[in-house]
Chains A and B, each alone.
Chain A
Amino acid sequence: MSRTIAIEVLRYGPETDAAPRWQRYDVPFTDEMSVLEGLQYIKDHLDGSLTFRWSCRMAICGSCGALVNGTPKLSCETFLRDYFPGPLRIEALSHFPIVRDLAIDQGDFLKKLEAVKPYLINPDVPAGNTFVQTPEEMDRYYQYSQCINCLLCYAACPQYGLNEKFTGPAALALLHRYNADSRDAGKAQRMEVVNAEDGVWGCTLVGYCSEVCPKGVDPARAVNQNKIESTKDYFLRFLKK
C-alpha cells in the first residue's frame, strides 16, 4: 500500500503562458523514490507536458537542479519520503530565466565558463610523458575540480541574482582550480577576470553557495582566497612593468 504525496510544480510555457503558475499533482510513491522519479511519474502517467532536465540519476551530470521547497537541490538525490505528505513545491533554479517549467537558460553560465580560460596553459609540456605531480600538489586544487556544473551555487548566490554580470561561484572556482594546479602557468592570463568588479569583488561572502554545493567544492573559499591574490596583484602591478 503506497503513500501519496502532493507535488506542486511551477509551470511555464513560452507559447501558452504570460507568467508562471503552480500546478498540483498527487503522486503515489515508495520510500526509495527520489524527487526526480516523482517528476518522471507525473510525466509518464499524469501529464506528459511537464518538462525538466535529467540524465545520470546519480548526482554526477549536474542536469537536474531545482528549487525544492525553496532550497537548491539535485532532484535525483532528494527523496520524496523526506517531504511527506507535502505539498512539496518544486520550481526552476532561481536567478536564471525560465525557458520552460523547470528548464532554465544556462547560456550565461556557459559564457562565464569560457571567459575564465578553464584549461591548462603551459607551453612547456614534458615530451612523451606526463607532468610529475605529487598527491600533495594535487590536493591543492583537487576539491575545486569536483564541480559538476549543476548551477545550484548560482541559484544560491543573491549577488548573481541581483547582477547577472557577476562571474559567479562555479566559474571562479574553476578558475582557481587551474591557477592552483602545479602544471599550469596561466595565472597572469586569468587575472583580468579575477580583478574585475564583477570578478571576485562581486562577492560579499554570503556563503550560501558552499552550503548548497552537492560535491563539497566550496566555491566561497575559491572566490574569497582570490581576493588576497587580487589585492596583491593590484599593489604589486608596478613591479611587473
Chain B
Amino acid sequence: MKTYRRPMAGWWKRNPYYLWYMLREASCVFITVYALILLWGLMRLTQGEWRFEDWLESLATPKSIAFHAAALPFVLYHAWTWFKVMPKTLPYSRTPAGVIVASGITASVLCSAALFVAVWWFGLWSLP
C-alpha cells in the first residue's frame, strides 16, 4: 500500500502550543547555567571572604546582568509550567487539578518571599 509520509522538519513552528513547549525546554539551559553560577559562588564562599567578594563583583558586570535579566523570565516561566504540569504527574486523587496548581504556586511564592525577607533581614544585620 503506497502512502505518503509528511516531513517533521520545523514541526515546532507549526503550532503555538509547540513553541511554548520548546521555550519551556529551552528554559532548562538558563536554569542549568544559573545553578552552576550559584554552585561556583558556594565554592568561592568556602575559599574565604576575598574570593567571595570577587564572585559577588563578577555578578555585577554588564554581561552578568544581561544574563540574569534574560534568565529571570525563563526561570519564572519554568516554575509556572512546572506547577501547571504537576497534576499530570500525580497518581489518582480526587483533588481538582486547579487546586494542586494553585497550592504549588502559592507555596513557592511564599517560600520565595520568606527567603527574600530573610536575606534582607540578615543583610541589614550584617551591615557594618
Residue numbers of A with Cβ under 8 A of B are: 12, 14, 17, 19-20, 70-71, 94-95, 97-99, 105, 139-140, 158, 161-162, 180, 204-208, 210-211, 218, 220-221, 224-225, 227-228
Among the 9-residue stretches B11-19, B54-62, B116-124, the one with 4 or more Cβ atoms under 8 Å from chain A is B11-19
- Whether B21 pairs with A210 at a CB distance below 8 angstroms is no
Q: Which 9 A-B pairs have the closest CB atoms?
A: A97-B3, A14-B2, A221-B88, A98-B4, A220-B88, A224-B89, A224-B88, A225-B91, A97-B5
- Whether B3 pairs with A14 at a CB distance below 8 angstroms is yes
- Whether B89 pairs with A225 at a CB distance below 8 angstroms is yes
Cα A227 to Cα B89 in complex, Å, equals: 8
Closest CB in chain A relative to B101 CB, distance in Å? 13
Residue numbers of B with Cβ under 8 A of A are: 1-6, 8, 11-12, 14-15, 17-18, 21, 25, 85, 87-92, 94
Give every chain B residue within 8 A of A161 (Cβ-Cβ).
8, 11
Give every chain B residue within 8 A of A70 (Cβ-Cβ).
14-15
- Whether B4 pairs with A20 at a CB distance below 8 angstroms is yes
Having A17-B4, A19-B4, A140-B92, one finds 7 other A-B pairs with CB under 8 Å, namely: A70-B14, A95-B8, A97-B3, A158-B21, A206-B18, A207-B85, A221-B87
